[in-house]
Amino acid sequence: MSFFFPDPDGLRQVGADLGMDLTPAEASSYHEFLSAVTPALRMIEQLPEPAPEIKYARTPGYRPDAADNPYNAWYYKTSIKGAPQGKLAGKRVAVKDNVFVAGVPLTNGASILEGFVPDTDATIVTRMLDAGAEIAGKSVAEYLCFSTSSSTASTGPVENPRAPGHTTGGSSNGSAALVAAHEVDMAIGADQAGSIRMPSSFCGIVGLKATYGLVPYTGVLGLEYCLDHVGPMADSVEECARLLEVIAGDDGIDGRQKGVRTQAYTEVLGQGVRGMRIGLVKEGFGRPESEAGVDEAVRKAAKLLQTQGAVVDEISIPWHNIGSALWLPICLEGTYHNMVHAHGMGFYGVNGAYSLSFMRAIAGWEAHINELPPTIKGGLLTGEIFARHGGRLYAKARNLVQRLRAEYNAWLNQYDVLLMPTTPMTATRLLPEDASPKDVLIASWGPVNNTCPFDISGHPAISVCCGTSENKPVGLMLIGRHFNDATLFRVADAVHKKPD
């Protein structure tokens, strides 16, 4: 349907909805003016949109049955083959189901998006195919990527290959499980609270939340613009670094990308840590939710770095604990605005690519509001309450992020990297189907207190397996300076210990 303005009576009703009392004469005057600009708006509707070239042939693929999907980690299986040569030649890659792959269905873990098929490839998909990768399929994500419990996806829970009966975390849970099960060589995840690092920790793989803006988010569904990160997941530090070399760099479209500086990430591997300075952050340990076995394994790994010639000092950053509090209104109110007021695209006034087909697909989600999982309902409730307070908590938290970033930077001026547990606990049991909203929310937000501060500060952070506790993987997190992601790979390479 072509765009149109309502007649004068319709304008009066719109005004009344806004609390505006328009007289019939005023409504007619506005209508006369607006009618004059209608042709320009209809012209916009008729103009073709810029569309990236779909360079590689593909079929939609298929939705695997249970026998072909033992951990329930695949949403769709495909076989899209890229260039015959390149850094990723011969590598099978899974992409999280919030990443656009043209012609392949996308749900973002949500039943309300069943039937949506993107018509473009995300920038990172094109880059991986250009580098010779095979896109092996779409990995399951939590419902709208708004959970870490591995229990909310419309396709059901994803089981942890390295801890049967336990959660894979989230929201990049399918990607982590497929890497851990060796069904793919690499995977793509997205991270707004820890959604790459947390499942990497629980599944014992390597996952990097790159510096904010280092990897273009074009063609990836987000939550809150200032939190959106996309990055690599793999079973080795080398494979993770190799994937980052392919997907990193400015694409000229994503407005999140400012001052981007890439590095040769694989070239630092094997250099060791002799002479490096590492700050072990006290506040990342001994939290109320911490497991003693996790803290012990991470401290043991830090001592291993000392034996390799690194200087490891325990330091205190009290603002680290404040960071998780700041993240709350930024994420909850920002995501609420994205979903309720910004048609799922979330970034009015910011440079970027807007998917009209996705906006049409998600329109009318309100009719299904009672079908949504507790994480989404809880997020909408709190976001609405924050908004009714005039948005001031969101605004003040965003202002205080400057202080948080400065606190981390002050220590990163003295140390090459910071170190702490990725998650304070190992993988927990999968939730029962009748879990209460409170239990789902605790399972979703309890593990992210160490990870979420770096989503708002934008620092690069990597999770690497450093051992096990009660036969479950333990993740160690390293944090570095902005756009110095290579140093994280260098240290991670020295401490990585595969759980199997």
Per the prediction, the chain carries an average pLDDT of 96
Q: Which residue among 139, 171, 324, 444 is the active-site one?
A: 171
**Together in a domain, 86 and 231:** yes
For residues 177 and 274, membership in a common domain is answered with yes
Q: 203 with 475: CB under 8 angstroms?
A: no
Eight-state DSSP code of residue 368: G
**Is pLDDT above 70 for 419?**
yes
If asked whether residues 196 and 164 sit together in one domain, one would say yes
Per the annotation, the verdict on 377 as an active-site residue is: no
- Asked if residue 30 and residue 138 are part of one domain, the reply reads no
Whether 417 and 284 have beta carbons less than 8 Å apart is answered as: no
What is the reported pLDDT for 238? 99
Of 139, 147, 195, 444, the active-site residue reads 195
Segment 215-264, tens digit of pLDDT = 999 999 999 999 999 999 999 999 999 999 999 999 999 999 999 999 99
Question: 27: which 2 tokens?
Answer: 């409504």
Give a yes or no: residue 353 inside a domain: no
Mind listing the pLDDT tens digit for each residue in 81-92? 999 999 999 999
Considering the domain boundaries, does residue 145 fall inside one? yes
Domain that holds residue 37: 8-46
Per the structure, the count of domains in the chain is 2
Identify whether 331 is part of a domain. Answer: no
Instruction: Please report which residue ranges of 62-221 form alpha helices under DSSP H.
Output: 123-130, 173-180, 197-203
* Residue 488 in domain: yes
Give yes or no: residues 178 and 39 share one domain. no
Residues 267, 124, single domain; the answer is yes
In a domain, 135, yes or no: yes
Q: Which long-range contacts (CB under 8 A, 24 or more apart) does 38-47 make?
A: 38/3, 38/4, 38/5, 41/3, 42/2, 42/3, 45/2, 45/3
Are residue 202 and residue 250 in the same domain, yes or no?
Answer: yes
**What DSSP line would sit under 441-497, residue for residue?**
HHHHHGGGTTTTHHHHH---EEEEEEEEETTEEEEEEEE--TT-HHHHHHHHHHH--
End-to-end CA distance of the chain: give it in Å, rounded.
Answer: 57
**Does the active-site annotation cover 438?**
no
pLDDT band at 498 (very low <50, low <70, confident <90, very high): confident
Question: Among 333, 361, 108, which Cα is nearest to 224's?
Answer: 333
Quick check: is 147 catalytic? no
Long-range contacts: 383-386, Cβ < 8 Å, 24+?
383/332, 383/333, 383/335, 383/336, 383/337, 383/340, 384/336, 384/340, 386/329, 386/332, 386/333, 386/336
Confidence of residue 308 (pLDDT cuts 50, 70, 90): very high
- Answer whether residue 350 is part of any domain: no
The answer on 300 and 185 residing in a single domain is yes
- Domain co-membership, 314 together with 415: yes
Contacts of 442 (CB under 8 A, 6+ apart): none
Residues 25 and 108 in one domain: no
Query: Are 77 and 38 contained in the same domain?
Result: no
Residue 473 near residue 427 (C-beta atoms within 8 A): yes
pLDDT at 284 over 70: yes
Kindly report the CATH number assigned to the domain that includes residue 208.
3.90.1300.10
Q: Which of 91, 96, 138, 472 is catalytic?
A: 96
For residue 396, give the H/E element and its range.
Answer: helix 392-412
338 domain residue, yes or no: no
Residue 350 has pLDDT above 90, yes or no: no
- pLDDT band of 1, cuts 50, 70, 90: low
- Whether 426 maps to a domain, the answer reads yes
pLDDT for the residue 347: 63
Q: Both 302 and 424 in a single domain? A: yes
